[in-house]
Amino acid sequence: MEYRFLGNTGIKVSVIGIGNYLNGDAPDKKEKMVQIVKKAYSLGINFFDTAESYGFGEAELLYGEAFKELGIPRQELVVSSKIFWAISPFVPSINKVNSIGLSRKHIIEGVKASLKRLQLDYLDIVFCHRFDEDTPLEETIKAFNDLIQQGLIHYWGTSEWSCGQIFEAREICAKLNLIPPVCEQPQYNMMVRERFEVEYGRLFDKYRMGSTVWSPLCAGVLTGKYNSGTFPVGSRLHEYKDNPLLKRIFDTYFADDKKEKLLKVLNALSELANKIGCTQSQLAMAWVLANRDVSTAITSATSLEQLDDIVKSLDVIKKITPEINKEIDEILGNKPQLGIDYKAYLPNKSVRRDQIIIKNQYCNI
């Protein structure tokens, strides 16, 4: 396993992390969670991510039971959770109006509730699951600062915030001498790359912000299981019609006006993976991990075999040479352009992914 510093901090995280969004509703969920955590830990994974909204508390309960049963020393784990939705936004309750958002009340009560479910004394990182337009940003920052001072959390971060929102938060922190966010948790994969590679570039360069990217396999789209355009029984998208979140994924990638182009891309990626001697999943994960700005990529697994397969992607990173990266860009056709197009004047101008590093420049234990 490779470990990287989480941005400009001294904490080290495994480059592959585990999230338990999917496992919250799985059959025999407690037993499966124990098996997944045990296997992940044995593979060197130390970063475990969850949220108060995952199963609305149930996912945190499952992690708590698994950590307790396995008896893993707390100092060997880096555990993060996210605060914003303590109740379902689809089932509003007039009596729980303060259970959504980033008010001081919800942040402090939410973190304490998460700790109780996780059976932990502290969390390593707590993310603001989204930006709260209704709460003064200064109030949110002060609440996290107080939780750090109390020893209930070590660091705080953001998730799916814009670059401007993060810069604004850091300005407030500098002005009031408060602890700034140390990392962002955005989506990043072969299909979704514009914000990470372009918008956040200045944050990574100026502040060395960390990143705990989610959905590196694009909700399973990049695994190869959908390359024929069908959804096998047992796959996530097999039940997409009954789930609004899965329906959104279907509409984004498999709608009639997008499906043909997508399948062409997926099958070309499969051929490239065969060419360099790996699975399509490993190619997609290695491509994400090869980016110098990624601290850790959060994946999930429903079987131990899936975990073994994805960890083997570490051996594929060295195969993402500039030549292979160029082939991938040609297949995807979505390489972002940084700033003004200077191509006519500087034809050799690079973009962020052309600055890939194979070995992390900060830490490789």
On whether residue 362 sits in a domain, the answer given is: no
Q: Is residue 127 part of a domain?
A: yes
Q: 255 near 262, Cβ under 8 Å?
A: no
pLDDT tens across 101-134, in order? 999 999 999 999 999 999 999 999 999 999 999 9
Task: Identify the residue with better confidence: 358 or 185.
Answer: 185
Instruction: Please report whether residue 317 resides in a domain.
Output: yes
Count of domains observed in the chain: 1
Residue 365: inside a domain: no
With respect to residue 364, please indicate whether it lies within any of the assigned structural domains.
no
**Residue 304 counted as domain residue:** yes
Beta strands in the chain (DSSP E): 3-5, 12-14, 16-19, 47-49, 78-83, 123-128, 153-158, 183-184, 210-214, 296-299
Catalytic residue positions? 54
- The answer to whether position 102 is within a domain reads yes
The pTM assigned to this predicted structure is 0.91
H or E element in which residue 111 lies: helix 104-118
- Tell me the CATH number at 268: 3.20.20.100
Domain assignment of residue 269, given as a range: 3-355
What's the pLDDT band for 349 if we cut at 50, 70, 90? low
Quick one: angle between helices 137-149 and 163-176, nearest 10?
A: 60
Does 361 map to a domain?
no
Collapsed DSSP state (helix, strand, coil) of residue 185: coil
